[in-house]
Amino acid sequence: MTEAAIPSGRTADADAVRADRLRSGLRRRYARERRFKLYGLLAIGVAVGFLVLLLGRIFDQGHTAFYAHSIETPVYMDPARIDRAYPQGTNFELLVAEQQLARMGVQDDAQGARAAAMRGLFSSELKFLAAERIQAEPELIGQTVRIAAPLADDADLYFKGEITLDTPAAQRRLSDEQIGWLDRMRAEGMVSSHFNSALFTRGDSTEPELAGVLGAVIGSALMLLVTALIALPLGVGAALYLEEFAPKGRLTNLIEVNINNLAAVPSIIYGLLGLALFINWMHLPRASPLVGGLVLALMALPTIIIATRSSLKAVPPSIREAALAMGASKTQTVFHHTLPLAMPGVMTGAIISMAHALGETAPLLLIGMVSFVPGIPHGLTEPTGALPSLIYIWENASERAFHERTAAAIMVLLAFMIVMNAAAVLLRRRFERRW
Amino acid sequence: MTLLFLPTLIVAAVAVWLGARLLARRRQQGVRAHSRPGQFGTLALIWTVVPAVAVLIASAVVTPALEQGLIASGAPEAVAELEPLRRNAFFADARAVADGQPAARIWEPPYAELMPAEGARVARIAGRLDLAGVALAALAALAGALFAFSRIRPEMRARNRVEAWIVGLLFACSAVAVLTTLGIIASLVFDSLRFFASVPITEFLFGTQWSPQTAIRADQVGSSGAFGALPLFAGTFLIMLIAMTVAAPVGLFAAIYLSEYAGPVFRATVKPVLEVLAGVPTVVYGFFAALTVGPAFREFFNGVGASLAGGPLDGLGQYLMLVQNQMALVAGAVMGIMLIPFVSSLSDDIINAVPQSLRDGSYAMGATKSETVTRVLLPAALPGVAGAMLLAMSRAIGETMIVTMAAGLAARLTLNPLDTVTTVTVQIVTLLTGDQEFDSPKTLAAFGLGLTLFLVTLALNVIAQRIVHTYRQQYD
């Protein structure tokens, strides 16, 4: 502007050139600005896109595990084959397979290979169900009974479209003949699809169609109970001491640095600590919820301390001063006023760190939770599984049917975490006070 | 017995509390007392419970040795002659037999016949010791309670005493954090020392051969394990590098966008999404890496290899066609994604800590937003950002599940991201989750690796926290 006022042809020319250069420079700079902004959006897009991909993929892999196929078949309780005194000893699967072959008019060979192949389509649960019926009502021997039992994992996968005829027979777990039988049985209306209740009512099993997450869910719940009972009082106590009572000094400083560093120690190190301290030195039972809960408590402790301290800090000093002025002692001030006011924040932090502990896997592997534990745990000192370690075990299993169940177990785990985090958010919204 | 005693103790404690309260109220009548009756009650309760619990703990510490001595002194000759380990096993089994459970192992005739009688004797001794412990604890509780009752006077400063106990208790809580650190160090160092007694530390740190499969029986072939951890360090470093290549730019750019460009609504929607990404358990990332990303990457590289094979780059094509699911790239990339929210939230804090005046100054000079970010904010925030990156690196080094599920077990000294590599954490899990005997170098090696991991991550954390701390003070 000032330059325009100078009346000189040469400078005006130079001005035009400069303005031109500035304009084009400005264009470049604005382009760079847009590019830069785009990179930022792209980075966020990557993160969000990945989350969508991750969740979508897990749902895609896991939703089929929530239903399963079972078969209802008439069983002639052959008196010649069933031992009245000991029905559990009967090979019901083979019995049913042979009867099924006979009904379908298929001739077996001398070795009984077809009966074995047919038998492979039924779950071993069939045997237990049949034996139970006979034990309850021995008069059924000699009659024909209808029994509904789950199909074996491979047959189930075929009906879910995971095993198809397009795959070369050598790479398939089902032969052409077996698939033919399955199609015929379905056409006859013997096969039905239903909600896979086994997934939620059973413990782990080597057979995918009978494997469920209940054992692991209860194991995880017991572990979290131990964690909460230990980490919560200890964490709140430590935070109260550091925030309200500790004299400023070397020792306090040491404790604070210590807690900050503990929060960043890799979780697997806590596993090593648990193994050396609780199992090898104190001889607590391996793979028990007690040991798991202790290890997770030590892990959760720094987070709980940090969260508690920040919510104690948020309580304004005027509250403390008012209480002290009324003649309350330091301890009374803290326990009657500061802590109750900080409680919503404390609980929020505690729930979030519990949710985090729920998903922690590495330390659990080191204290023995990688071994196969069937059934439902009953106590704190029995070996159990936990949800995250169950996911790890199932992911390693060779049966295809475990893959969808792994994804389903992940969905269960994520559901629990979402519930806990939602509870924390609600708690914060409902009770948080801004001073 | 002890389990029966604990509820009794609780009931007694409540009774003492109520009683002391009542007594204090009665004695305070008409007098100006220092403390409230409830505080006397609490003090009496402390006097009752603390001695009892102390006695119980002491008896739990002393009893095992005492019990062993008593059992051994009265043992029949045949049993006394057994070597100590077998003798203890015999007594454990005898006890099980006496309880009506099956013995853990089969004992030959002279011992088998002794079993029921010995079992009964062992059970009797254990029962008496238990009873003695409980009786002592009950006595201590009684004495404490009586002492407390006798001391209740209106002028006594019960409140101060109770509060001193409470502060002591709170201090004990915060000491647990220090004890945890000491416990970590002690357990790692103790077993590492035993490991380094059999494997020289230089061989461990600089050896290039890692094959920890030691024989279970001494005469087995291939019983000599090699414990050169260099390939593990290289693998860990490679995966960390890949993860940081993904996480550092993406996380940083996300943080810059969120703090400098995004409006409040955008921020409020994206931040929770990033929090969800941070909250997903690592085992889930591992599952995703192993079953989705791994196969996808393998198919991609195999496809590229197939199109290159036969051409001028035949060698590369042949190599790419053989790439496996488990490669460093898969684990590294997924770990990088996992670290994005971590890096971005740390960087977000750091960028927000840069004073607004610096931004305003830059805008006043006519700089665009991106110029302000790259030439003013980032240089000003550099130490803080560097600290955040170090923290992310430490996370990447210590991360276990993703690598365990997606990186593989082959210990190779390579920097090729398409190769299968293994890491320190994977080897710790592998060494400690198989069949193990506790004292073999194989299991102890895990503690050596753990110590290394702990020291490296600790160093990174300390440096990073110091940098971030100094950085924050600069702008406070």
- DSSP track, B148-163: HHHH--TTS-HHHHHH
Rounded CA gap, B191 and A265, in Å?
19
Q: Which of residues 185-214 of A touch B (CB under 8 A)?
A: none
Test the A interface: residue of B163, B165, B400 with most A CBs within 10 Å: B400
Phi, psi of A379 (to 5 degrees): -150, 175
State which residue of chain A sits closest to B403, comparing Cα positions.
A362
A178 and A230 housed in the same domain? no
Long-range contacts of B108-113 (CB under 8 A, 24+ apart): B110/B78, B111/B78, B111/B79
The answer to whether residue A298 is domain-embedded is yes
Domain that holds residue A380: 214-431
Q: Do B429 and A268 touch (CB under 8 A)?
A: yes
A242 and A186 housed in the same domain? no
Residue B458 near residue A265, CB atoms below 8 Å:
yes
Residue A30 near residue B369, CB atoms below 8 Å:
no
Is the pLDDT confidence value at A198 over 50?
A: yes
* Cβ-Cβ contacts under 8 Å for A210 (sequence gap 6 or more): A123, A124, A125, A150, A198, A202
pLDDT of residue A1: 47
Q: Do B400 and A268 touch (CB under 8 A)?
A: yes
The answer to whether residue A208 is domain-embedded is no
A265: contact with B, CB 8 A cutoff: yes
A163 and A49 housed in the same domain? no
A54 and A121 housed in the same domain? no
Q: Decide which of A198, A224, A248 is a domain's last residue.
A: A198
For B328-365, the pLDDT digits (tens) are 999 999 999 999 999 999 999 899 889 999 999 999 99
A73 and A56 housed in the same domain? no
A223 and A340 housed in the same domain? yes
Would you list the DSSP string of A15-33?
HHHHHHHHHHHHHHHHHHH
Residue B342 near residue A263, CB atoms below 8 Å:
no
Average pLDDT over chain A, rounded to whole? 88
A93 and A24 housed in the same domain? no
Q: How far is CA A204 from CA A39, A121, A345, A399, B84, in A?
A: 46, 21, 37, 14, 40
The answer to whether residue A204 is domain-embedded is no
pLDDT of residue B394: 95
Q: Do B398 and A265 touch (CB under 8 A)?
A: yes
Is the pLDDT confidence value at A5 over 70?
A: no
Question: DSSP letter at B408?
Answer: -
| Min Cα separation B435/chain A (Å) | 11
Is the pLDDT confidence value at B461 over 50?
A: yes
Long-range contacts of B350-354 (CB under 8 A, 24+ apart): B350/B381, B350/B384, B350/B385, B350/B387, B350/B388, B350/B468, B350/B471, B351/B255, B351/B256, B351/B259, B351/B260, B351/B377, B351/B381, B352/B259, B353/B381, B353/B384, B353/B471, B353/B472, B353/B475, B354/B380, B354/B381, B354/B475
pLDDT of residue A116: 84
A222 and A256 housed in the same domain? yes
The answer to whether residue A203 is domain-embedded is no
Number of folded domains that form chain A: 3
Is the pLDDT confidence value at B241 over 70?
A: yes
- Quick one: CA torsion of A39, A42, A44, A49, rounded to 10 degrees? -170
A152 and A28 housed in the same domain? no
A164 and A112 housed in the same domain? yes
Question: Which chain B residues are Cβ-neighbours of A399 within 8 angstroms?
Answer: none
Question: DSSP letter at A148?
Answer: E
**Per-residue pLDDT band at A356 (split at 50, 70, 90):** very high
The sheet carrying A67-76 orders its strands as A144-150, A67-76, A191-195
The answer to whether residue A406 is domain-embedded is yes
Interval A151-180 mean pLDDT: 84
For A401-435, the pLDDT digits (tens) are 898 999 999 999 999 999 999 998 888 888 877 77
Is residue A53 left, alpha or beta, with left meaning phi > 0 and alpha meaning psi from -120 to 50? alpha
Q: Decide which of A198, A227, A258 is a domain's last residue.
A: A198
Rounded CA gap, B476 and B472, in Å?
6
Half-sphere exposure of B45 (CA within 13 A, CB side): 18
Rounded CA gap, A110 and A48, in Å?
61
Give strand pairing partners of A67.
A195
Q: Residues for chain B: how many in total?
A: 476
Phi, psi of A376 (to 5 degrees): -110, 130
Residue B461 near residue A261, CB atoms below 8 Å:
yes
Q: Give the best-scoring range by mean pLDDT among A123-137, A139-153, A235-249, B83-97.
A: A235-249
For A252-291, the pLDDT digits (tens) are 888 888 898 898 899 999 999 999 999 888 888 888 999 9
Neighbour count for residue B314 (Cβ, 10 Å):
12
Domain of residue A309, CATH code: 1.10.3720.10
Q: How far is CA A422 from CA A304, A414, A419, B272, B306, in A?
A: 18, 12, 5, 12, 49
**Per-residue pLDDT band at B457 (split at 50, 70, 90):** very high
The answer to whether residue A96 is domain-embedded is yes
pLDDT of residue A104: 83
A304 and A361 housed in the same domain? yes
Please choose, from the candidates B233, B227, B231, B230, the residue with its C-alpha nearest in 3D space to the C-alpha of residue B200: B227
A276: contact with B, CB 8 A cutoff: yes
pLDDT of residue B418: 87
Interval A389-395 mean pLDDT: 92
Q: Do B257 and A302 touch (CB under 8 A)?
A: no
Q: Decide which of A198, A229, A260 is a domain's last residue.
A: A198
- Quick one: CA torsion of A217, A218, A221, A222, rounded to 10 degrees? -150
Please choose, from the candidates B447, B429, B281, B252, the residue with its C-alpha nearest in 3D space to the C-alpha of residue B351: B252
A91 and A26 housed in the same domain? no
The answer to whether residue A207 is domain-embedded is no
Rounded CA gap, A382 and A203, in Å?
14
Residue, of B153 and B143, whose pLDDT is higher: B143
Rounded CA gap, B402 and A349, in Å?
26
The answer to whether residue A209 is domain-embedded is no
